[in-house]
Amino acid sequence: MRDGGRCVIPTEGCPGTFDFSLHHLDRWAFCVHHPDPRSAGGSVSDPSNMYPAHRLCNEKWGNRPGIAEPVEPLEPNHSVEWPS
């Protein structure tokens, strides 16, 4: 898997980058942040509305729109495969 980049909404203790060997329920596991929440009419499948974030950071950020760090959106072909 390619480098997931840096967390766009760092919270306290955020390591910045991602460790893809973590369990997907780990607080620092990779997850996708949607700066334009679906509740605000944003598409959750639009690549320009998908940014890398940590589970915990995303949780703390909540449904606020936008991002904290200026970064590029994920590549259109980006996909995350969760362990089943």
Is residue 55 within 8 Å of residue 25, measured between CB atoms? yes
Min dist CB 17 to Zn ion, Å, is 9
Minimum distance, C-beta of residue 41 to Zn ion, in the bound complex (Å): 25
Residue numbers 53-72 binding Zn ion by CB under 5 A? 54, 57
- For Zn ion, the binding residues in 35-54 under the rule CB under 5 A are 54
- Residue at token pair 């606020």: 64
Nearer residue to Zn ion within complex by CB, 7 or 67: 7
All residues at 6 or more sequence positions from 76 whose CB lies less than 8 Å from its CB, including other chains: 47
Angle at 74 between CA 39 and CA 29, to 5 degrees: 80
Q: Which is nearer to Zn ion, 11 or 78 (CB)?
A: 11
Give the three-class secondary structure for 30.
strand
List residues near Zn ion by CB under 5 A. 7, 10, 14, 54, 57
